[in-house]
Structure 1
Amino acid sequence: MAGVTQTTARPDPLTLLRDRWRDRSPGLGAGLLGGAVAGVLGLASCAALVTLLWISSPYPDSGPEGALHVAASLWVLAHGAELVRADTLAGVPAPMGVTPLLLVLLPVWLLHRAARDATDPGDGVGLAVGSGVGAGAAARLAGESGLRDAAPPPVSSRFAWVGVVTGYLSVAAPVVVYASGGELRPSLWWTALCLPLVAMGAAGAGVWTAFGRPGGPVGRALRVLPRDLRELMVEPDARLGAATRAAGAGAAVLVGGGALLVAVSLVWHGAAAQDAFLRLTEGWSGRFAVLLLCLALVPNAAVWAAVYALGPGFVLGAGHVVHPFSSAPAPLLPPFPLLAAVPDAGPGTPLHWAAGSVPLVAGVVVGWFTARAATGAPVAGAAAGPEGGAGAGDGAGVWSWRRTVWAAVVAAVLCGGLVALLAAFAGGPLGSAGLARFGPVWWQAGGAALAWVVVPAVPVALVVRGWRGRGAASREAAGASVPEVAPESGKAAEEGGRRWGWASVRVPSPGRWWKRGEGGDAGGAGAAEDEDAVPYGLYDDEDGDAPYDLLPADPPAEPPSRG
């Protein structure tokens, strides 16, 4: 025993450092890995497609290195960055900035998925604790099950977002450097601007989705606005989310209507489109490449057609504007199938003017969605007033006409901004001089969308609000004496020979305590038929459906006070 020396096992310093770094920044490592994997997958998809087309091409002028340079530049173009073509007849580099919108979906989806997975590890523990909304419930659940010590540390949204963006940009940086050596190279200025913005925006949307799309960050971002304006937009009657949904529906109708216009025009000019498709190339691989390019540019064509229906139209080079009242297509355009859908040169006809029905329908849709929000959202404690809440004659939860008009105007502004953003991405230069501009002008598209949408949206919202408001008021009057009680939400207790209980009453909100006669089933299905049931008090609950453990198990002897 004298020769035995006791030693203490000490962990590796690198292991201690790694564990300490992981505990202090949970989610950063997963975010770095997820962002890097997203970048590699997007680049590999572009490289595989370009390499397949290069191998199958009967005229492979460049070697594999040239194909890889094109793949890297194409991946950078998918982020909205502008490319520069160095090999031109004039010897002057020519920009190429028309980004296929369908190509943008790949990096955005990969970034969104990586950020969502890095924020939510899959067991829901980090998500609930970090969200702030379900943090208390998750903590109680972990404490009751005895798994608090075994649970992983909560994932920080900030670290997850930073990790995904950093990992993605660490892959993008060498790719940009490599692509700069090809004939089709990315513009460094546009790359430095667009790539980080796309990465930060898509990753932020992924983190937001992982936390259940809470409205807290939006409210904090709007604190810079004046208080009155912020209350009109967010609290509590004209929530910004309702206007955003209406604006999204209007923009979707505009783009969908534009796609329908493109399809009709292609069918009308079917012979010209087929001739352009066959004239571009003779090999099947080349025609397959042209077909893929046309598919990638279909969303661009839909946006162009939507702006055409709005009135400003689009340009096909300097001095060649196409809109419903006249069309002056450029005479030196290449034979491309989608360009065959451009209206023939000359003044507009009633058939071209009929395209104005697309923005008209979009305005009606925005008004309808606004009216649905105005009559479908319950307003807690809404009192009759000239400026807020539900006015006189309105049903419970029905916005006043001023708030409805304001919500419709906000939705129209958001719709115009969204259309302007799509127009800016859908167009760009295809060269210099006469080819310096292709597509719609973003500020003209946004202004026209605002004007077209706000004119029908406001009266439609008011009319539909009045129609649905009367129905809501009649339903409320019918349910005032016999409220609708959730059958599964009651609790009962015996006290003094009478039965008491509480229930979550859905019409109207919030929930109420009910006093029951003998033999009544408090909170059950027969509660509405109990003639002795009378309202006994109120409890405050914003959603009108508070969990059971937030209320006392036994009713108090006196009416509970509010707040």
Structure 2
Amino acid sequence: MSQLTERGTTLSSHGRTAARRSSAIGTAVISGVTAAGLGLGALAVAVLLLWVASPYPDSGPSRALHLAAGLWFTAHGGGLVREATSSGTPAPVGTVPLLLVALPVWLLHRATRDTLATAALPEPAGDPEAPAAAPEVAPRTLLGALLTGYLLVAAGALLYTSTGRLSAAPLAALLAVPGTAFATVAATAWHTLGPDAAALLPDRVTRALDALPAALRAALTGPRLRTAGKAAAAATLALLAAGTALALLGLLLHPGRFGDDLGQLAPDWVGRSTVLLLCLALLPNAAVWGAAYGLGPGFAVGTGTAVGPLGTSPRPALPHFPLLSGLPEPGPGAWPVVVLALVVPAAAVVQLARYAAGDGHRSWRRTAGTAALAAGLCALAMTVLAGLAGGALGERALASFGPSGWLTGLVTAGWTGLVAVPGTLGLRAWRRSSVHRAAPGRTPGRHLPDLPLRRRAGHRTPKDAAGPEPRPEAGRAPRPKEDGDRGSREDRETREPAA
């Protein structure tokens, strides 16, 4: 009888374990579905509101929903295909509004963080004072379930947008959506777990990492990588901030052209609001274009064109879009423009050296290695951003828009590697010398031993002669002075009653 009871208890515990495992995996799948659904829903609501407010809606809500789904795929880096063209040939639309990328990335980041928190905090045992039991499901399994739920919604949205005037490019969507989702989940896991996130990698990758030299493995997983990551992030943000300033300065120098383009593109207030929202979504793209302009390689505004600080080539007729109204006129660049453009790499160099130098206590080799690693990460980030910020807007003359990804990354590596690394070493030396100067030192020469100095009895002050005041005993309040006590002149005047 006891054997049957023990067997039933064992089977029941296994059943509860399987149920908790299934529940955790199902929750992760639902989290992925929710993250994708919220992104689609937010874009659908925005597009439908603009469609309702439009005084001349030329189609039903189905076209607006197709546009929302296409924008969702564009936010992941995928391209669109415009079927309705004047030539009858489908035209690609490859420019990604970088501000829209923040929506799916933020939703996936939150879902991944909550999933990792669930995996890291298992349910305790029956006794509330007993230690927590091991997690029932591995974090790798939960993250795989999260990605599965997200990609299931993406597959349904791809089937929905396969027809229509503006549809998602199938090949680009199949590559961009899983790539963006996987990169976001991996970055969130690394940010949440730190070096422990390496345990989430497949066994083959882990064995390959273990086979690397110890110095390289320590550089990729140790605190040096975190310091280099902060320096690279600061340098990249400085590049984007300086690029934004250049783009806005170009628009401020041509206010009339901006108003004319806005009026020709949208005559009513709803259309103008839509165009301004699109300009806001493309403002990070303009920041990347401005950063590429300041770094030197510039960007293209059509096939065979170039816009840079040293000069601007003749360009074809461009669409009347307000953000393009700040482009410089064709011709050689003036020296004030060149000097102003140097603010972009200077800002990146200063920020990278500031974070990579630290407090100056590391060795010069470790400091130089950290700065070089930060320069490589900054160049990689600018390569990705430049590749996403540009793309085709059509065919022939409109087939090339924006900066070149590999050229922008190469020039960024040159600026940060050749200028920021020596600057980091110089800043380290200056900080070390500042610390040595601020430390209490002795002047060179002969010094007397450190002995306590005693005053002579004839040179005692009245305060020294009186000796230290007696401290009150613990737990007993100090005794107030009475009228017969000797005190200072101020105390006696205070105790005397007013006449």
- Summarize the alignment of residues 290-301 of structure 1 with structure 2, pairs less than 5 Å apart: 290-301=275-286
1:257-308, Cα deviation, whole Å (9 max, x unpaired): 0011111111111121122112211111111100110000000000000000
Contact kept in structure 1, 2:299 and 2:403, CA below 8 Å = yes
In structure 2, give the amino acid aligned to 1:55: V
Work out which of the two has the higher radius of gyration on C-alpha atoms and give 1 or 2: 2
Instruction: Find out whether 1:56 has 2:42 as its counterpart.
Output: no
Distance change >3 Å, CA 260–CA 106, structure 1 → 2: same
- Whole-angstrom distance in 2 between the partners of 1:230 and 1:68: 49
Q: C-alpha separation between the residues in 1 aligned to 2:305 and 2:47?
A: 33
Which of these residues, 114, 119, 126, is aligned with residue 116 of structure 2? 119
- Residues 18, 165 of structure 1: alpha-carbon distance in 2 compared, 3 angstrom cutoff: farther
1:349 is matched with: 334
SS in 2 for 1:27: helix
Shift in Å at residue 223 of structure 1? 1.9
Q: Extract unaligned runs of 5+ from structure 1.
A: 1-7, 130-137, 376-397, 479-563
Match of 2:356 in 1: 370
What's the CA shift for 1:50? 1.0
1:177 counterpart letter in structure 2: L
Q: CA deviation at 1:20?
A: 4.8
Displacement of 1:206:
3.3
1:421 is aligned to: 384
Q: Residue 114 of structure 1 contacts residue 206 of structure 1 at CA under 8 Å; is this kept in 2?
A: no
**Segment of structure 1 superposing worse, 244-253 or 26-35:** 26-35
Alignment-mate amino acid for residue 55 of structure 2: P
Displacement of 1:196? 0.7
Report the equivalent of 1:201.
183
**2:87 counterpart residue number:** 90
> After superposition, where does 1:13-52 map in structure 2 within 5 Å?
19-24=16-21, 27-52=24-49
Contact kept in structure 2, 1:371 and 1:461, CA below 8 Å:
yes
Q: 1-side partners of 2:258 and 2:350: how far apart? A: 34
Which of 163, 177, 189 is matched with 2:159 structurally? 177
- CA displacement at 1:364 relative to structure 2: 2.2
Q: CA deviation at 1:476?
A: 8.1
Q: Distance in 2 between matches of 1:120 and 1:241?
A: 22
Give the aligned partner of residue 287 of structure 1. Answer: 272
Residues 358-394 of structure 1: CA deviation (Å, up to 9, x unaligned): 1122112212211116x3xxxxxxxxxxxxxxxxxxx
Structure 2 residue 234 is matched with structure 1 residue 241: no
Runs (4+) of structure 1 exceeding 4 A deviation are 15-20, 142-145, 151-155, 212-222, 471-478
**Distance in 1 of aligned mates of 2:218 and 2:142:** 33
Contact 2:162 2:168 in 1 (8 A): yes
Length-normalised TM-score, structure 2: 0.79
The answer to whether the 8 Å contact 1:314/1:322 transfers is yes
Structure 2 Cα separation of the partners of residues 400 and 334 of structure 1: 55
Contact preservation (8 Å) 1:318, 1:435: yes
1:96-148 alpha-carbon deviations (Å, 9 max, x no partner): 01010000110111111111112213xxxx4257xxxxxxxx99xx8995154
Hey, what does 1:560 align to over in structure 2? none
- Spell out the pairing of 1:292-441 with structure 2 (5 A cutoff): 292-328=277-313, 330-353=315-338, 354-372=340-358, 375=360, 398-441=361-404
1:252 corresponds to which residue?
237
Partners of 2:316 and 2:397 within 8 A in 1: no
Distance in 2 of aligned mates of 1:285 and 1:407: 51
Matches of 2:435 and 2:208 in 1, distance apart?
32
Structure 1 match to 2:248: 263
Output the CA distance in 1 between the equivalents of 2:57 and 2:367.
Answer: 61
User: Secondary structure, in 3 states, of the residue corresponding to 1:98?
Assistant: coil
Deviation by residue 1:39-90 (Cα, 9 ceiling, x = unmatched): 1111111111111111111221121211111111111111110111111111
Q: Which runs of 5+ in 2 are unaligned?
A: 442-499
Answering whether residue 73 of structure 2 is matched by residue 76 of structure 1, we say yes
2:190 and 2:197 in contact (8 A); partners too: no
Q: CA deviation at 1:231?
A: 5.3
Amino acid at match of 2:232: A
Find 1:146's aligned residue among 129, 132, 142: 129
Distance in 2 separating the partners of 1:183 and 1:34? 32
Share of identical aligned residues, percent?
Answer: 40
Matched with 2:463 is none
CA contact (8 A) 1:322 1:329 kept: no
Quick one: structure 1 residues 171 and 18, their matched pair in 2 at CA, closer, same or farther if it must change by over 3 Å?
Answer: farther
1:106 aligns with: 103
Q: 2:189 touches 2:197 (CA, 8 Å); kept in 1?
A: no
- 1:252 and 1:433 map into 2 onto residues whose CA distance is 34
Alignment of 1:164 onto 2:170: no
1:278 counterpart SS class:
helix
Deviation of residue 433 (structure 1)?
Answer: 1.6
SS at match of 2:307: strand
Post-superposition Cα deviations, 1:241-260, rounded to whole Å, max 9, x if no partner, equal 21121111111100110011
2:265 is aligned with what amino acid? L
CA distance in 1: counterparts of 2:54 and 2:278, whole angstroms: 15
Going by fraction, where is helix more abundant, 1 or 2? 2
SS of the aligned residue for 1:211 comes to helix
Native 8 Å contact 1:111 1:164 kept in 2: no
CA RMSD for the aligned pairs?
3.0
Aligned-pair CA distance for 1:477 = 8.3
8 A contact 2:121–2:135 mirrored in 1: no
Q: Give the AA of the match of 2:58.
A: D
Specify whether residues 172 and 455 from structure 1 end up closer, same or farther in structure 2 by C-alpha distance, changes over 3 A only: same
- Structure in which a larger fraction of residues adopt strand: 1
Q: Which stretch shifts more, 239-248 or 288-297?
A: 239-248
* Structure 1 length-normalised TM: 0.70
Equivalent residue, structure 1, for 2:409: 446
Aligned residue identity for 2:116: T
Cα displacement string for residues 214-259 of structure 1 (whole angstroms, at most 9, x for unaligned residues): 57559959827741551572586x7122112111111110011001
Structure 1 residues 475 and 169: CA distance shift in structure 2, 3 A? same
The alpha-carbon deviation at position 199 of structure 1 amounts to 1.4
Q: Aligned partners of 1:128, 1:118: CA distance in 2, in Å?
A: 10
By how many angstroms is 1:459 displaced? 2.1
| Secondary structure of 2:81 counterpart | strand
In structure 2, C-alpha distance between the alignment counterparts of 1:205 and 1:226, rounded to whole Å: 22
After TM superposition, give the deviation of residue 30 of structure 1 in Å. 1.5
